[in-house]
Structure 1
Amino acid sequence: MAPPAPRNETHGLPYWELVLMVACLMAMNAAAIDIFIPALQDIGKALDVGDANQRQFVITAYLLGFGLGQIAYGPLSDRFGRRPLLLFGIAVYVIAAGIATFSSSFTMLLIMRLIQGLGAAATRVIAISVVRDCFGGRRMASVMSLVMMVFMAVPVLAPNIGQGIMLFGSWREIFVIVALFGAGVGIWSALRLPETLAPENRRELTGKRVAEAFKIVLSNRVAFGYTIATAMIFGVLFGFINQAEQIYTGAYGLGPYFTLVFSATAIFMAIASFANSRLVERFGMRRLSHGALIVFMATAALHLLVAWLSGGAAPLWFFIPVMTFNFCIFGFIGTNFNALAMDPLGHVAGTASSVLGFMQTFGGGLIGAFLGYLYDGTLIPLIAGFIVLSALSTLCVFLAEGRLFDAKYDDVTGPQRKSAEAGAAE
């Protein structure tokens, strides 16, 4: 763990508890996605879904609600504080999961998943806002890496928990477990999480003030560029998640054991996030994330070549380590990109978190849904998508920064950065 933060920096909450609580808030979203991956086939059979690719909509509907909901929570949390909006969102998440248990049609299930995502959006916006309320610069990136390390334990456990429930019950019981997990995190937050929004940072909830906050977010070149870059790279992750069950059970014939392989990938992503938390304060967010993005793209290009030469899918002995390595590299990209996007926007952290979260999650969800729906029994569309999206992400970063790998501005934002750039030019 990083050195403990002062109590005034964490609003009186122990540093370890703040990190763990934020991680669990973020993990509610991973739980609502990854735990259902082993159940998609059974959901399709139970609710008469003929097209195998349409089963992916169980994931997509949640992601769309999750993305859309973030637009509202940011401005509201900047006005009324973090706690009320967080507890409201968790309540919606839990209730929607409970109702989804009784779904009698695929349409009803998708509606409940959309509503559940709308509630879960509060957890993402508030979690990021709380971290930004307390920390900045490389310190924020370090904390977010620790959060992501704990958060990544959920993709390790969730698919296997889902598979275990399916052995003794049905997909309906999975919704019960998700609701109970959400309720537990909600009670903990209600009892322990302090209000982190400083009184001087509260913003009036008027159309003009909200528009001003949105303008601040969208007109900041660095924040906007990294947001679009993150949406592209999240599209990679969501595309893989949408196809995971079909790839492992269809292309490679692993059956119910595929969750073990899926979990192994998540373990290495968690290790990478921990490594990032230790390295980012030494090397900087830009050097780590930019280098990781280039390596990700090069590895995907190699994977595509091998898959093409192998008739559409690389041998399993090649696929598993290469895919694991690629998503290990992912651990150095997403967290740092989020921190870089949020760092110049501390004075409007709630609105910034909602706007950036909407663009990243909703945009990434749509991209991932499109990429996932291209599944044709081979890995060619998916890996080609990896290359295209990582290339576009690199372009966005370059346009935002005008350069790559420059870490000297990692702890300098806004007017200070403009002054530093002007001094360097002279």
Structure 2
Amino acid sequence: MSQAHTRRGPTQALGPREFIALMGMLTATIAFSIDALLPALPDIAQSLTPSNPNNAQLTITAFVLGMGIGTFFVGPLADRFGRRPTLICGAVLYIASCMVAIFTTEITLLLITRVTMGLGASAARVVAMAIVRDQTSGREMARLMSLIMMVFALVPAIAPSIGAVIVGFTGWRGLFAAFAVFSILTSLWFLIRQPETLVQKRPLAFTSLAAAFREMVSLSDVRRSIMTQTLIYACLFAALSSTQQVFADVYGQVSQFPYWFALIAVLAASASFLNSKIVIKLGMQRVISTALLGQIAISAVMISVWLLSPANSFGIYVIWTTSVFFIVGLTLGNLNTLAMEPLGHIAGFAASLLQGSATVGSVLIAAPIGLAFDGTPLPVAIGITVCITLAYVTARRIRP
């Protein structure tokens, strides 16, 4: 039975610009929670884990792990209770976790709070995708997702600089207060302006969820999309977790890191805009395959330059890191669209399974790659090259 006439809250649909901005800012909770923390990693290591500073990297992957786990549950909850209640509950968990993190004195407790922050942030991620799927489909959905990802991608351009300023004035603990404030503001915007888009609620029953799961895994293209996304996310998170150490320890760019990261983020954000312009003409499969093949070539150049002339490798390292982030805008939205196309009737659960599987799987790959940092960028570069090559092979088998 339709719930369209019994919902509380706003009923008028948002205009295209506000809708893109709101969905982008909701998903940007994730980018802000990760990228703003990067300049604080040395302080966190010194404060909580001085004997093994590489462990500070785990604050990044712990958040991603929680986000992935939460994603499995958010979709079914959003299909049962609605998009709005699910997102607000996630925001409450996220904000509460930030408050606990402010007062922690142990690295273990900080990692636990980062996991629960990720659990809460997963609501924004999945609900935003489900709302887009509620209202669009096909290549138009891919175009809209690209524009939302462009807003999402702009946040990393300023997040490290904001993080560095906050750390300078308040220490790393002040960052968690900033995370809470950001979530409060975006949640209020959503609550005041975004109508409920779920028309037909699905019962939260094991048999229904099991049937939906069987339907998804029976589709070979969905399975291939999950595998490809897992490998691409692993590249992204491995690069993210180690980039601050590489800039600081290998190239001596400690104070300049936020500015280099901002440049990388701005350049990478243009990928989503580019995808929105070319995906209608070229098709999703061609864009994905071309992007991955180009990344394999750039990664091979990065490894070669480091092996032949490490002293002259900074420029290619910046280009290579930019390219790792750049392919996200050319691939993930398209892969999601290809996988979601036959799954509109179970959009919430489908989004959860797709994103949850890819994210949790990527952490299992990315964490060892990041922790392999040995004072050089070589282990990360090799790990990412292997992942991208496997992603290309898998993506080529997805039917357009």
Shift of 1:319: 2.1
**Deviating more after overlay: 49-58 vs 351-360:** 49-58
Corresponding letter in the other structure for 1:206: A
Deviations 1:397-418 (A, max 9, x none): 23333xxxxxxx4xxxxxxxxx
Corresponding letter in the other structure for 2:218: S
Shift of 1:328: 2.5
The answer to whether the 8 A contact 2:231-2:362 is kept is yes
Matching of residues 17-416 of structure 1 within 5 Å: 17-199=18-200, 202-311=201-310, 315-401=313-399, 409=400
**Distance across 1 between alignment mates of 2:205 and 2:323:** 47
The answer to whether the 8 A contact 2:239-2:321 is kept is no
Corresponding letter in the other structure for 1:346: G
Shift of 1:333: 1.6
Task: Indicate how the Cα distance of structure 1 residues 210 and 11 shifts in structure 2: closer, same or farther if over 3 A, else same.
Answer: farther
Deviations 1:237-257 (A, max 9, x none): 100011011100001001121
The answer to whether the 8 A contact 2:236-2:324 is kept is no
**Distance across 2 between alignment mates of 1:317 and 1:229:** 28
Root mean square deviation, CA, Å: 1.5
TM-score under structure 2 length normalisation: 0.94
Any gaps of 5 or more consecutive residues in structure 2?
Answer: 1-10
Deviations 1:120-168 (A, max 9, x none): 1111111111111111111011011100111011110100100111222
TM-score under structure 1 length normalisation: 0.89
Task: Indicate how the Cα distance of structure 1 residues 387 and 11 shifts in structure 2: closer, same or farther if over 3 A, else same.
Answer: farther
**Distance across 2 between alignment mates of 1:387 and 1:178:** 33
Shift of 1:323: 2.9
The answer to whether the 8 A contact 1:268-1:324 is kept is yes
Deviations 1:105-128 (A, max 9, x none): 111111111111111111111111
**Deviating more after overlay: 389-398 vs 321-330:** 321-330
**Distance across 2 between alignment mates of 1:335 and 1:269:** 14
Shift of 1:69: 0.8
Corresponding letter in the other structure for 2:365: I
**Distance across 2 between alignment mates of 1:235 and 1:11:** 39
**Distance across 1 between alignment mates of 2:217 and 2:197:** 24
**Deviating more after overlay: 335-344 vs 105-114:** 335-344
The answer to whether the 8 A contact 1:38-1:259 is kept is yes
Deviations 1:295-329 (A, max 9, x none): 11111111111111125x75213322343244334
The answer to whether the 8 A contact 1:296-1:330 is kept is no
Deviations 1:10-60 (A, max 9, x none): 972211111111111100011111100000110111124421211111111
Task: Indicate how the Cα distance of structure 1 residues 189 and 395 shifts in structure 2: closer, same or farther if over 3 A, else same.
Answer: same
**Distance across 1 between alignment mates of 2:131 and 2:21:** 13
The answer to whether the 8 A contact 1:292-1:330 is kept is no
Any gaps of 5 or more consecutive residues in structure 1?
Answer: 1-9, 402-408, 410-426
The answer to whether the 8 A contact 1:163-1:256 is kept is no
**Distance across 2 between alignment mates of 1:49 and 1:366:** 24
SS of 1:332's partner is helix
SS of 2:255's partner is helix
